[in-house]
Amino acid sequence: MQTLESLKRKIGSAEDLQTVVRTMKTLAAVSIRQYETAAESLAEYAATVDLGIAMLCWNASGEWRDTGNRLDGATGAVVFGSDQGLCGPFNDHLVQYMDEQWEEDGQAAHRSANRWPCLAIGTRIAARLEDGGYVVDEWLSNASSSTGIAPLVHELLERIDRWQRERRLGRILLFHNRRVSAASYAPHGRSLLPIDRSVIESHAVRRWPSRSLPLVTLDAARFFSRLVQQYLFVTLFRAGAESLAGENAGRIASMQSAERSIEERLAELRGEYHQLRQTSITEELLDVVTGFEVLRGGGASGP
């Protein structure tokens, strides 16, 4: 049977855990803002890359627009997941989404029955991909802060270049979770390579933002190759930042669920404590009354 002291200890432990959960929620909310700010800060840089592509579209012939599309190559997937836990089914939802995309893609002719080889970012998503039947050729630890995204992307670009040659990949897909609200996210997928020709050609109809028309003096193919590298950097940076923001949104959702469970448990423990305390007080009062009655009865029967 529980005592008042044991219930006090349980209530104290639950309150300490509640404090930890609330702190983690606050830290996750702060992290979300940092990662979203990092993604937003790349907007002007991305606009500059877009203008560079527009310059080529206007000043050079279309021979450089070959984006390396190899229809006979295999398909690979770059997947951003999590390194840390306490974010709910964050990785599970992403792998389920990949399964759906793979099944749709598997209907195409000449498509291999094997699941896509993957380059994973995050130890937990790497394990989850292998459990789901995907082959993880390489994996990288995810960034632990917004300042770590850029170095991660630079390393990732080098890995992708080597991985594409070794695997002879004709297409590389990109998958990650994206924050939807303060405590929710949704999986997202897109083609990373080859770059969709329509994306490039859409820049040809853009209006130049100034009166002075641009002039390209570098070799068009070389200039385009460098622009593609910057385009990939922007795309992967945004994917990494959005994934980390989504991870923390999942962490907030998990902490909210844990907080509700703790509050319910605290209410239960406090109810038991008050009931046991009331019972103890009642028993003490009954002992006093019984003792008084015994003393009074003994005094009445005296000489």
pLDDT at 197 over 80: no
Pairing of strands 169-181, 117-121: unpaired
What is the tally of structural domains in the chain?
1
Contact, 37 vs 192, CB < 8 A? no
Q: What DSSP character marks residue 34?
A: H
Give the model's confidence band at 264: pLDDT under 50 very low, under 70 low, under 90 confident, else very high. very high
Q: Is residue 290 part of a domain?
A: no
Q: Is residue 69 part of a domain?
A: yes
Q: 193: which residues sit within 8 A by CB, 6+ positions away?
A: 67, 68, 160, 164, 169, 171, 172, 232
Looking at residue 83, which CATH number applies to its domain?
3.40.1380.10
Q: Is residue 228 part of a domain?
A: yes
pTM above 0.95, yes or no: no
Q: Is residue 81 part of a domain?
A: yes
Q: Is residue 236 part of a domain?
A: yes
Give the model's confidence band at 300: pLDDT under 50 very low, under 70 low, under 90 confident, else very high. low
131 class by beta-carbon count within 10 Å (0-12 exposed, 13-18 middle, 19+ buried): exposed
- Give the pLDDT confidence of 6-33 residue by residue, as tens digits: 999 999 999 999 999 999 999 999 999 9
102: containing domain: 30-203+214-256
Sequence letter at residue 302: G
Q: Is residue 264 part of a domain?
A: no
Instruction: Output the six-digit token pair for 47.
Output: 């606009």
Q: 27: which residues sit within 8 A by CB, 6+ positions away?
A: none
- Alpha helix stretches (DSSP H) within 168-212: 197-201
Q: Is residue 281 part of a domain?
A: no
- Give the pLDDT confidence of 154-181 residue by residue, as tens digits: 999 999 999 999 999 989 999 999 999 9
Calculate what percentage of the chain has a pLDDT beyond 70: 87
Give me the mean pLDDT over the 236-254 stretch.
95
Helix (H, G, I), strand (E, B) or coil at 292: helix
Q: Is residue 24 part of a domain?
A: no
Neighbours of 223 (CB within 10 A): 19
